[in-house]
Amino acid sequence: MAKLTIEELNELGLRAEAMPRHVAMIMDGNGRWAKKNGFLRAMGHRAGVTRLRELVRFSSDSGIKALTLYAFSTENWKRPDDELGVLFSLLIEFFNKEIDELHRNNVCIRSIGELDAFPLKVREAVKNAEQRTKNNGGLMLNIALNYGSQAEILRAAGALCKRAIETGELPTKDDFEQELYTCGLPELDLLIRTSGELRLSNYLLYQAAYAELYFTDVFWPDFTKEEYIKAIKEYQRRSRRYGGLE
Ligand code: FPP
């Protein structure tokens, strides 16, 4: 991976100083992509992982600080066992196969969510990737695994209640944010969802308070680097006022 210069970003139609710091992605439409192309759903998920590589690389090269991917939600357990098996295998493969290159490129991998529910091999692959890359100062690559915003918020509220009982003091906004999985990450700037669905599906509900939302009809396996650039261009055109005036 080579960092893109200001001129190279300009040639792509992007302004270096206005790149989002933190991008989140809901990688939706693998199943429909597979159906459209006459493949099994498993092939859709595999194509989805393949797509990921160039997007992680572009995020790192273009100066984005954090990328947070919704790989498995607290609701995904409802899927049939064979599909869960496919997703687990792909996760293990991703963490084991990609780790060397990601590590070489200074990417810091972190999972967000309740990892304990996964089979041992998934947990081991994730923990190993986290451990190996924990001191890297490049792109912060967060993989949401058994993640749900409502569970995250409840967990934080529980921790804060306990502390409030002990100290007798009410928590601040900072205290609350410290208890979220995203603690230490830059504020979420851009949230992308593929496949034409117009909802957040229990993803980063607190963090998305002032994020720019980008929805596209493109299925996840077709969400190329060019599509990503299109989303960032649209982000750079938006006027972010945070409730204030221009
Ligand atoms: C949504 O497509 C996608 C998922 C539930 C899983 C996303 C997972 C991956 C891309 C692979 C694993 C991730 C990593 C980080 C290695 P869908 O199955 O809901 O598609 P559909 O709505 O068209 O059926």
Question: Which residue in this structure is represented by tokens 């006027």?
Answer: 239
Which residues have C-beta within 8 Å of that of residue 146, sequence separation ≥ 6?
72, 73, 74, 76, 77, 113, 114, 115, 117, 118
Residue 244 pLDDT = 87
Domains present along the chain, CATH in parentheses: 19-147+187-204+211-235 (3.40.1180.10), 149-185 (no CATH)
Helix or strand holding residue 190 (H, E): strand 190-193
The pTM of this model reads: 0.97
Among 231, 176, 241, CA closest to 23 = 231
Q: Cα-flanking dihedrals φ and ψ of residue 142, to 5°?
A: -105, 130
Residue 246 pLDDT = 74
In a 13 Å sphere around the CA of 194, the CA atoms on its Cβ side amount to 24
Looking at the chain, the whole-number percentage of residues with pLDDT higher than 70 is 100
Residue 227 pLDDT = 98
Residue 233 pLDDT = 98
Spacing, Cα 31 to ligand 1 middle (Å)? 8
Q: Is the distance from CB of 100 to CB of 53 less than 8 angstroms?
A: no
Residue 1 has pLDDT above 90, yes or no: no
Q: What value does the mean pLDDT take over residues 124-128?
A: 98
Active site residue 76: yes
Query: How many residues does the structure list for the chain?
Result: 246
226 is written with which tokens? Answer: 């060019």
Active site residue 30: no
Q: What value does the mean pLDDT take over residues 200-228?
A: 98
84-111 pLDDT tens trace: 999 999 999 999 999 999 999 999 999 9
216-246 pLDDT tens trace: 999 999 999 999 999 999 999 998 888 888 7
Mutation test of ligand 1: which of 25, 28, 43, 223 has the most ligand atoms closer than 8 Å to its C-beta? 28
Residue 184 pLDDT = 97
Catalytic residue selected from 61, 76, 96, 106: 76
Which residues have C-beta within 8 Å of that of residue 41, sequence separation ≥ 6?
30, 31, 34, 35, 83, 86
Check pocket membership of 27 for ligand 1, CB cut-off 6 A: yes
Looking at the chain, the whole-number percentage of residues with pLDDT higher than 90 is 96
71-87 pLDDT tens trace: 999 999 999 999 999 99
Check pocket membership of 76 for ligand 1, CB cut-off 6 A: yes
Q: Is the distance from CB of 198 to CB of 70 less than 8 angstroms?
A: no
Residue 125 has pLDDT above 70, yes or no: yes
